[in-house]
Structure 1
Amino acid sequence: MLSPLFLAHGSPMLAIEDKPYTRFLKQLGSGIKPDFVVIFTAHWEEDKVTVSSHNGVYDTIYDFYGFPDELYKVQYPAKGSVEAASQVTDKLTQQGIAWTTDEQRGLDHGSWTMLHHMFPAADVPVVQVSVNPYLPPAAQHQIGAALRELAQQNVLIIGSGVTVHNLRAVNWGASKPDPWAVEFDDWLIQQIKAGDLQQLFRYRSEAPHAELAVPRAEHFVPLYIAMGAGDLSRTEVIYRDYEFGNLSYMCLKF
């Protein structure tokens, strides 16, 4: 069994940086060899769950601008897998979750910047999946739960997002985390350890600084998907740090 992960993809610069977080990702990937990866990325939004399904090499999407030229030269030539994608869609169908497939889209930076460190040889097939930030947390959790059996079959399920993600609030010169960001993540950890899904689903009204931490939900909902695919009672915080005061790099294993 491979425990589902919620991983923070942070800045695109992650792809070319050598820092504690990128070294953590390298170590994390070196210890496992999944049959394939299913990654729900905050940077692919669709109304219906959309699953990449092809056997070719993904294009590397540079869905950002204003970064150093070096970053735009990085390529991550991972392959897709129609067979792996069909396993994902079969599980979704069994739980009554509507889906469609995509045969064209490349890997966005919510996927390749991390996978580039975890599996640098690009030798693990990847199934990239969209998110719909407008679905309620309980529905996000159900999407993850539909794939729970795959995690027991040497498939790595990743929710790629960020718990505290407010680019208007970042403090570029910060030398330590902003207290409000820490308080929000602390609340999440507390509810997860308590196994209180209902509180977690009501984070908008219950969590401290929720509107500031999550002004828009696209980076937050992958947390519920990864959580649903795993076992809440086995949750571990496997990495935690902050950049620019409040950009959270908290990662969890379920």
Structure 2
Amino acid sequence: MMPSLFLAHGSPMLAIENSEYTDFLGNLGRKLQPKAIVIFTAHWEEEQVTISSVEGTYETIYDFYGFPDELYQVSYPAKGSPELAGRLQNLFDQAGILAQFDAKRGLDHGSWTLLSRMYPNADLPVVQVSVNPFLPPEKQYQIGEALQGLGQENILVIGSGVTVHNLRMVNWGQTEPEEWALQFDDWLIEQMEKSNRENLFQYETKAPNAKAAVPRPEHFVPLFIAMGSGQSKPAVLYRSYEYGTLSYLCLAF
């Protein structure tokens, strides 16, 4: 059985730089061997749930700028799965969630940077799914909940985002995390361990430093989707910080 995962995709440089975090991703990929991957990415926003139904090989999207040329040479030629995409739409339909297909969009860096470290051979079918950051947390959870049970079929569901993601407050070169960022993630972990969804859904008013940690929710909502799709007790898989505030908290559900 596959867990559902929330994974931090952080800087695109994780695709080409070796670190403790990339070692973790590689080990995680070797441990988890699914037959297919469904990934919700913070870098694809649509008002309505949109499912990649790419037939053949995905294009690699370089949705960033100002990075070394080497990063733009990385390609992740994963195959799509229209069959699995259709299965997802049926599950969403049963849950009363409208979903549409996109047969052209490639994999953005919220997907391929992580997957290139976990499954470097690009030999697993991938279905990428959009997020709508403006839906309330309860609705995000329901989107994930519609996919409960996929793990029992050896399909890995990933929410790709970041818990503490405020690029205006990163401190380049800083190695020690800021206390306020730690407090926000500590609160999240505590509420998840207590299964206190009510508090989690009200994180904007109840979590310490919520406005600093989540100035805009597109990177945060994949957490609720992963949580909803899981069927196990939450577990912290990895935790570190880059530039003082950028969180690499990863969780399994």
Common fold by TM > 0.5? yes
1:98 corresponding residue in structure 2: 98
Cα distance in 2 for partners of 1:175, 1:27 equals 23
* CA deviation profile, 1:172-223 (whole Å, cap 9, x unmatched): 1312000000000000000000000000000000000000000000000000
Shift of 1:153: 0.8
Cα distance in 1 for partners of 2:180, 2:26 equals 30
1:33 corresponding residue in structure 2: 33
User: Greater shift after overlay, 26-35 or 185-194?
Assistant: 26-35
Cα distance in 1 for partners of 2:223, 2:62 equals 23
Shift of 1:33: 1.8
User: Greater shift after overlay, 161-170 or 143-152?
Assistant: 143-152
Shift of 1:32: 2.0
Cα distance in 2 for partners of 1:143, 1:97 equals 7
Unaligned runs of 5+ in 1: none
* CA deviation profile, 1:145-185 (whole Å, cap 9, x unmatched): 00002121100000000000000000113120000000000
Cα distance in 2 for partners of 1:227, 1:154 equals 17
Q: What is the TM-score of this pair, normalised by structure 2?
A: 0.99
**In the alignment, structure 1 residue 130 sits paired with structure 2 residue 136:** no
Cα distance in 1 for partners of 2:54, 2:122 equals 16
* CA deviation profile, 1:54-103 (whole Å, cap 9, x unmatched): 22100000000000000000000000011111111111111000010000
2:170 corresponding residue in structure 1: 170
**In the alignment, structure 1 residue 244 sits paired with structure 2 residue 226:** no
How many equivalent residue pairs? 253
**In the alignment, structure 1 residue 2 sits paired with structure 2 residue 7:** no
Q: After superposition, where does 1:19-168 map in structure 2 within 5 Å? A: 19-168=19-168
**1:22 counterpart SS class:** helix
* CA deviation profile, 1:6-62 (whole Å, cap 9, x unmatched): 000000001001100001000000112211100000000000000000221000000
Q: What is the TM-score of this pair, normalised by structure 1?
A: 0.99
After the TM superposition, list the runs of 4 or more consecutive aligned residues in structure 1 that deviate by more than 2 angstroms: none
Unaligned runs of 5+ in 2: none
2:217 corresponding residue in structure 1: 217
RMSD over aligned Cα atoms: 0.7
The residue identity in structure 1 corresponding to 2:247 is: S
The residue identity in structure 2 corresponding to 1:243 is: E
Cα distance in 2 for partners of 1:111, 1:205 equals 30
The residue identity in structure 2 corresponding to 1:228 is: G
Cα distance in 2 for partners of 1:87, 1:151 equals 14
Cα distance in 2 for partners of 1:53, 1:185 equals 34
Cα distance in 1 for partners of 2:248, 2:153 equals 28
